[in-house]
Amino acid sequence: MDLATGREAVLAEDPDYDLAKVVADPETLEPQSVVFLADRERWVHLDTALGAEIDALRARLRGEVGISRSVRSDRRWLITDIPSDGPAHYHVYDRDTGELTFL
């Protein structure tokens, strides 16, 4: 919903699965990706550039991915990697270098 105009628009939907997450720009709060909860998380990217970065990051990890972003610069993300067969792993992802550091 556009809060200024009250206009509503469907950005992404799935007839079979519930919406699990919305990834929004930390500064503008514009939705950039959404996640539907199927057998595995299914990501739908509204921002293709960010989507490509998230998909490349997800390919490097084993499980479902959580992303915490900072409004200050959005250059470093806290990443949670949750595999189905073990404990969660935490990483810092540097968007400038592509480096993924295990914590």
Cβ atoms within 10 Å, residue 62: 13
Give the residue among 9, 25, 15, 22 at the shortest CA–CA distance from 70: 25
pLDDT score for 100: 98
Cβ atoms of residues 58 and 14 within 8 Å: no
pLDDT tens-place values along the chain, 103 residues long: 887 899 999 999 999 999 999 999 998 889 999 999 999 999 999 999 999 999 999 999 999 999 999 878 899 999 999 999 999 999 999 999 999 999 9
* Statement: the pTM of the whole predicted model exceeds 0.85: yes
* Predicted local confidence at residue 2, as pLDDT: 80
How far, CA to CA in Å, does 100 sit from each of 35, 61, 90?
22, 10, 10
User: Which tokens hold the place of 6?
Assistant: 């009250």
What is the predicted pLDDT for the residue at 57?
Answer: 97
Amino acid identity for residue 58 in this structure: R
Residue 85's pLDDT is 95
